[in-house]
Structure 1
């Protein structure tokens, strides 16, 4: 199965900045640490280390998301959604997406992923469905706080990002569950 749609291509174009990780890389298969055991496969549900630089000087906060546009749904699958990360923070350590957000920077908020957990949920595509892309994005925002209720969905956060993003950085690893 071949997937090519870039969900960010339908949003207004914004400048890019640098995003790096010691755990994930563009086009490379995810390690078991960034996979999930939710559906019975091996996985640790550990969010990857992420660090960023080169964002606009007037950035007031950041959001970090992980989205699988290749999930067998009409709406993709949100694995992680964090927002209100202070502008002074330029890195999330591996495991920052632990349940409840206890390792997130002070002030940052985490929404429930599409499986309902307030944590990072690793990759676990259906066996035989082919490779899935996991779009890890850091969004530089023009506001220190977003008007996103704690019970909102990541899609609602996405609408706020559409309005407030001034720059974006992505890393897109892949993962495929064998048949």
Structure 2
């Protein structure tokens, strides 16, 4: 028997799919798969960021969007300084792994917010934002920077996909 979805369920499914990488771009796992650890902190000539800085920026920005959705007392970091790490390389493999784990955890939590079904309600402590807007913004932001990671990998001759 064919399952029938209503428009709201279809939208939720599409948002979850988008947060997981959508149809047209790589997700975080694919963008980082096989990256040699010695290239995490390399900044190719004339580019402003290393892959580490891009990963950390994704983590910080997505965390900020998620916390804004959840907590009226959340204070965002100062833009732009606190959204971009100064260090070009992670201090350790554990720092790298912790950042990647946090991105994945926060992505899962954003998917959970999508599944609550409260997509169109205004966030009480915001100025008109909705959960839908924040999820779309997070997915768009992540896709943009994941593409940059792939571009850096291509410039470093470290992309084979």
TM-score by structure 1 length? 0.25
Decide which structure has the larger Cα Rg and report it.
Answer: 2
| Structure with the higher fraction of residues in helix conformation | 2
Greater strand percent: which structure? 1
Calculate the TM-score normalised by the size of structure 2: 0.27
